[in-house]
Amino acid sequence: MTPLTDALTSRLHQAAHAQRWGVSVPAFAAALERSVAKLGGGADGAAVERHLDGLHLEDLALACACAAGHAGAWEHFIETYRPALYRAADALDPGGGAREAADALYGELYGVRGGASGRRSLFDYFHGRSRLGTWLRSILAQRHVDRIRAARKTRPLDEEDEALPERPAAAVEEQPDRLRFARLAQRALGAAILGLDPAERLRLSFYYLQRLTLAQIGRLTGEHEATVSRRLDRIRRSLRADVERRLREEDGLGEAEVRACVECALEDVGLDLDQWLSRPATKPGGEQETVRGSF
């Protein structure tokens, strides 16, 4: 990893107004290094500086101060973010159940220092790549889902709701090129997923990776359960049509071979969305958004 220079660290420390919360230059440098570590070891100095200049530095400085237990920073954090967290909680569960998750989140954010467990403040995992409020809402949503799962109130994905129907195994065994066909289908699916709107990719992640119910997705997106179902169905149909089109136009397959590709992918290898949904999707303006999921 390219080391941060003193000049760069001092400039970013000043831009973040970190002195407002009593965050020292070395402490802020440690937070910057944790963020840079997410780039991996191959980033050069220019890439590191671009990454750091793109961070939400003031939010990062506030997180550093709160993790260190700075009283003024905590007062500011609670005054600024508690109302938004409660609004997000009420959107997740109008009955008030998610407010318990919001309140419990403060204990994780404060953390425990020097104890036998060695537990860290949750703020140490904030790297400034998103807004602090966005990061908090994301964690709250996951904690709420975890609590529901712990209470055994979620339902698994219905088997009949697969994007692509399966065919009898005997029909697949008659196809000598099934592995090649499966790979072609996987490649076509990856290209189709990368062409989706970021919001559509996020819906797939909610449903297939996080196993949220339609009602839970509706709470996150502010939509009725029926609307969520219709939009997921439209995305699945669009994906299948795009996959089949790519197999015909880019790989030169006939209709029978296209059907065989889809069948073999499902029965031999499976259609893995995770590697594609975890790739950055470029939104208008060049900003990148990453979501994850798998069928």
Whose CA is closest to 155, among 213, 69, 104? 213
Question: What residue has token string 């065989």?
Answer: 260
Whole-angstrom distance, CA of residue 185 vs CA of residue 104: 44
pLDDT 10s digits, 19-55: 999 999 999 999 999 988 877 766 677 888 888 998 9
Task: Say which residue, 115 or 141, is predicted with more confidence.
Answer: 141
Do residues 166 and 267 lie in contact, with contact meaning Cβ atoms separated by under 8 Å?
Answer: yes
275, two tokens: 């590697």
C-beta neighbour count of 117 within 10 angstroms: 7
Bridge partners (DSSP) of residue 282 are 288
Select, from the ranges 168-172, 258-262, 266-270, the one with the highest average predicted confidence (pLDDT): 258-262
Closest to 182 measured CA to CA, from 239, 251, 235: 251
In this prediction, residues 200-214 reach a mean pLDDT of 77
> 288: which strand partners?
282
What DSSP string describes 152-163?
Answer: T---PPPGGG-S
The reported pLDDT for the residue numbered 264 is 58
- Give the E-state strand segments of the chain in sequence order: 281-282, 288-289
Domain ranges of the chain: 6-150, 159-289
Write the DSSP assignment of 268-285 as a string of letters.
II----HHHHTS-EEPTT
Does residue 175 have a pLDDT over 70?
A: no
Token pair listed for 124:
């140490």
pLDDT at 293 exceeding the cut of 70: no
Residue 191 confidence (pLDDT): 85
148 pLDDT higher than 70: yes
Q: What value does the mean pLDDT take over residues 135-161?
A: 66
Q: What's the whole-number mean pLDDT along residues 256-265?
A: 73
Encode pLDDT of 53-63 as tens digits.
989 999 999 99
Question: Which is more confident, 206 or 15?
Answer: 15
Rounded to whole angstroms, the Cα distance separating 247 from 244 reads 5
Cβ–Cβ < 8 Å for 205, 288: no
List % helix, strand, coil for the chain (3-state, nearest 5).
Answer: 65, 0, 35
Q: Please tell me the pTM assigned to this model.
A: 0.51
pLDDT (average), residues 205-221: 79
Write out the two tokens for 160: 């009949």
Q: Rounded to whole angstroms, how far apart are CA atoms 224 and 227?
A: 5
Identify the residue with better confidence: 52 or 97.
52
